[in-house]
Structure 1
Amino acid sequence: MPLLLRWLLLLLLMQGAARACGPGRGAGRRRLASRRLTPLVFKQHVPNVSEHTLGAAGPAERRVARDDPRFRDLVPNYNADIVFKDEEGTGADRLMTQRCKEKLNTLAISVMNQWPGVRLRVIEGWDEEGGHAADSLHYEGRAVDVTTSDRDRSKYGMLARLAVEAGFDWVYYETRGHIHCSVKSESSQAAKSGGCFAAESTVQTPGGRRALAELRVGDEVLALDPATGRLAFSPVLLFLDRDPAPRTLLRVRTASGRTLALTPSHLLPVARAGGGEPEARFADAVRPGDALLVAADAGSAGGAVRPDRVLHVDAEATRGGVVAPLTAAGTVVVDGVLASCYAVVGSHSLAHWSFAPVRAWHWLTAWAHAAPDYAHPPPPARAAPAPAPAPAPAVHWYAKALYSLARFLLPGTMLYK
């Protein structure tokens, strides 16, 4: 497998060069400099939804106090290019989640590029004194209030736009004196590397319906055959992620009564109005009125898929954890709804291509086991082996490697943020 990984690294580098993205994700973002950035106006926020919705920074969880176990997840920011007000004298303004720190450091670079000699200034970070609204993300280290070091208020509209470009999940030109920026929770799937389905969701196998939590590598599940466009059984090659911890998922309900629970960063094929190839969208970009593809009948091999209008998209916590199987087809029918096996990268075809070495390895080993060995006849038949143990909870190492490469090689517009 190390040889296959080196081969894939070379191909991805070639892919990045072919896309003329330059050396990494930053290069993809630098192309934005060629267009005119529009400053935010007073009281404008991006995206244009409430801060606590899943399409923005997400719901508040609970306050983080110094004696809370989650306090250890906050990291200090000692970036010399950022001025921290720290009026409390406790260093609290330097404490934030890792995701918030990454976005803030990116913003600091943008500020220096935009206004040479000017630095980013943080006037409020993690709050332990109760100075904000009850559901403020400052209490969790997920929000910062920023200005420029010269305190020139004429710059704040552009500062807000730079914060949007830096990748903050919600940016608000809150007052004449500062810009409020916040990020998704580290424990939410939006801040994680992969995408999954609720473990209690079911799939169709040749022997009947089974819960995703019961699946093992080698099991066959219903998927869409890309060659025929019809439903067919496809083997599970590996599990991209498996985690027994509860998570908050999106629950998508369709007009025919199908319900699919999955993470916001998972890809779903959305039917186009005029037919043709479906459009891949992240789950949290699916809206009521869109049409997902569902099994047209009871969900059998050889069947077809049809569009089914989305009625509701809600957030709901799961109790049984999450599972993300990877099939040879790259798709899977979960609770009657067709879904991609991939997440984070906004292109199903690119993600499927990236897992070509995994499929090649699977077919190669299957062929090697199936080829007859005439020099060494098989031993006498024995009792069937015990079922394979369930995979350990983890993101698969190959998926981790690809996610890391994607964030380095692909433009930010192709990645879930």
Structure 2
Amino acid sequence: MCVVRDECVQEMRWCALGALLLALVLVTQACGPGRGVGRRRGPRKLTPLVFKQHVPNVSENTLTASGLTEGRIDRNNTRFRDLVPNYNQDIIFKDEEGTGADRLMTQRCKEKLNTLAISVMNQWPGVRLRVTEGWDEEGHHASDSLHYEGRAVDVTTSDRDRSKYGMLARLAVEAGFDWVYYESRAHIHCSVKSESSDAAKYGGCFAGDNIVQSSSGKILKLSELQVGEAILALDPSTNQLIYSEVILFLDWHPNQRNLFLNFELKSGRTLTLTPAHLVITGSLNSTVTVFAKTLTVGSILIIGNRDDNKFEDTIVRVTQVYRTGIYAPLTSVGTIVVNDIIVSCYAVVDSHPLAHFVFAPIRLTAEIKSYMYRLWQTYNQGLADNFSNVPKSSIQHHGIHWYAEILYKIANNFIPWRILYT
């Protein structure tokens, strides 16, 4: 009992240290360019969109916009429960059908729409936002329309003044819609990423069918990997391949469907992970970490195996795929070899050293726990044996690890946008 209490006290102390380290990082960032604490920005002039312009300047169903369609939702579909009604009094819903369908949308769409409603009232006092089309259950749009998924809305101003629509489109971009299109003289089309898209959440992860090599010689799928396993990784301090312990999962959602990038390499190897994950690229002599979404055909990845052989391989194809199950193991050294490809354990922040630094308290806590457990084994062999028989998966934290989630939320508000995944 004393051991458990002391362990909790130690963990609290290390978490407090983590908060202090993070504060130091944030203060340092605040002194430089970007979104620093206490920095005042002057008003930024907004430029209206022109007719037929869309932001970003790519197709709606591409990764950097609102992403792939996931299929039509009707009232009998299990995904229908994911749609939420919007009863914001500052928004007028046309609701031609009289069914309330225009009020139904995904939570992400609702949040962006409510933000836009505030912007409209601030821009034009006395004018409200008007939704002419929301979720479509009657088949009025093209077969791949995001209206069928509650991820798109068509909007105007309540006064229907078409001279305002260019600025309305710009306000929609500022409100955070993932794709905005000045589609018609009669309305602005706005859409958002799927709720299962990693860009609508925190962090980056791997698909569960990727494999890793354990120190016991076993080849494990990430869906089978457990905390405590030692798996092949790269030690950045020595540039040597070693076996490093998995101390926790930054994200563990075995039943969640998510959008991934699938990279096919010249050697036949593949890697499936989310766009926000950090990947090691460059050459054997000079490597850098970049977001997976920046990799293209021709980019170089570094291959490593347990014989400590490393060589370069080239990406020959990049596709978007959906998979069920997302996993983000964190090793002691902060790297991992997945499908023989060396990658970082981190995501969201475009700096592997910075990410590894702010997770130092977690690594120290894991070391202390390991040391205390070894002591426990030494002095309480029988009890320790019973504890070791508990399946590791039974104590697995489901979802995003609380420490990672806090860091991602704080970073989104304080760390300069240039190093954050957007």
Same fold (TM over 0.5): yes
CA distance in 2, matches of 1:86, 1:30: 42
CA distance in 1, matches of 2:150, 2:129: 18
CA distance in 2, matches of 1:220, 1:170: 43
Paired position in structure 2 for 1:167:
176
Question: Displacement, 1:97?
Answer: 0.6
**Structure 2 length as normaliser, TM-score?**
0.83
Task: Establish whether residue 250 from structure 1 lines up as the match of residue 261 from structure 2.
Answer: yes
CA distance in 2, matches of 1:184, 1:3: 39
Q: 1:3 to 1:381 in 2, by over 3 A?
A: closer
2:273 corresponds to which of 238, 262, 268: 262
Q: 1:383 to 1:396 in 2, by over 3 A?
A: closer
| Secondary structure at 1:278 match in 2 | strand
Paired position in structure 2 for 1:211:
221
Sequence identity (%):
56
Gaps of 5+ in 2: 1-10
| Secondary structure at 1:19 match in 2 | helix
Question: Displacement, 1:143?
Answer: 0.5
Q: Deviations over 1:113-155 (max 9, x none)?
A: 4445544332221122222112211111100112233433333
CA distance in 2, matches of 1:414, 1:110: 27
Q: Tell me how large the CA RMSD over aligned residues is.
A: 3.5
Q: How many pairs were matched up?
A: 407
CA distance in 2, matches of 1:65, 1:193: 28
Paired position in structure 1 for 2:237:
227
Question: Displacement, 1:413?
Answer: 5.4
CA distance in 2, matches of 1:363, 1:2: 14
Paired position in structure 2 for 1:177:
186
1:308 corresponds to which of 309, 313, 317: 313
Q: 1:131 to 1:222 in 2, by over 3 A?
A: same
CA distance in 2, matches of 1:400, 1:122: 33
Paired position in structure 2 for 1:240:
250
| Secondary structure at 2:408 match in 1 | helix
CA distance in 2, matches of 1:29, 1:76: 37
1:192 corresponds to which of 177, 201, 219: 201
Question: Displacement, 1:300?
Answer: 2.4
Paired position in structure 1 for 2:8:
none
CA distance in 1, matches of 2:280, 2:95: 47
Q: 1:118 to 1:10 in 2, by over 3 A?
A: farther
| Secondary structure at 1:165 match in 2 | helix
Q: Is the 8 A contact 2:376 2:384 kept in 1?
A: no
Q: 1:21 to 1:102 in 2, by over 3 A?
A: farther
Task: Establish whether residue 330 from structure 1 lines up as the match of residue 342 from structure 2.
Answer: no
1:74 corresponds to which of 83, 86, 91: 83
Q: 1:371 to 1:202 in 2, by over 3 A?
A: same
Instruction: Map 1:81-96 onto structure 2 (within 5 A).
Output: 81-96=90-105
CA distance in 2, matches of 1:150, 1:21: 45
Query: Which residue identity does 2:268 align to in structure 1?
Result: G
CA distance in 1, matches of 2:418, 2:156: 26
Task: Establish whether residue 342 from structure 1 lines up as the match of residue 346 from structure 2.
Answer: yes
Paired position in structure 1 for 2:60:
51
Gaps of 5+ in 1: none
Q: Deviations over 1:232-272 (max 9, x none)?
A: 22210011222333544221112232210112332223328
